[in-house]
Amino acid sequence: MTMTAVGGREVKVDPEGFLTDPQEWDEALAEVFAQRIGLDLTDGHWAAIRFARSDFTATGETPTLRRMAIAGGVSTKDMFNLFPKKPAKKLAYVAGLPKPVGCV
């Protein structure tokens, strides 16, 4: 675990930059993480982020693309439009959640 400065404060991250404590996350931090990967957050992004965080709280796991489509109501196509190339991984990063199981 490494400490890094993000948005003017210190947070704990893993070697890939994912937060190790989802409780350190807030919306301002999400904006910084999004900018780092070239995203401007829209209402669609926020809906996906809020569902992912809520689902993580309920299940203890970061939602996969399949779960986002079935339970979150965000189609796989929409996820790829919102978070291009690696949508589940990018969503987890911005949402301050662990990398989803199975993501490379």
Q: Is 83 left (phi over 0), alpha (psi -120 to 50) or beta?
A: beta
Distance of alpha carbon 67 from alpha carbon 28, whole angstroms: 26
72 three-state secondary structure? coil
Could you tell me if 63 and 100 are in contact, meaning their C-beta atoms sit under 8 angstroms apart? yes
The one catalytic residue among 3, 45, 103, 104? 103
Does the annotation count 28 as an active-site position?
no
Point out the residues that are catalytic.
103
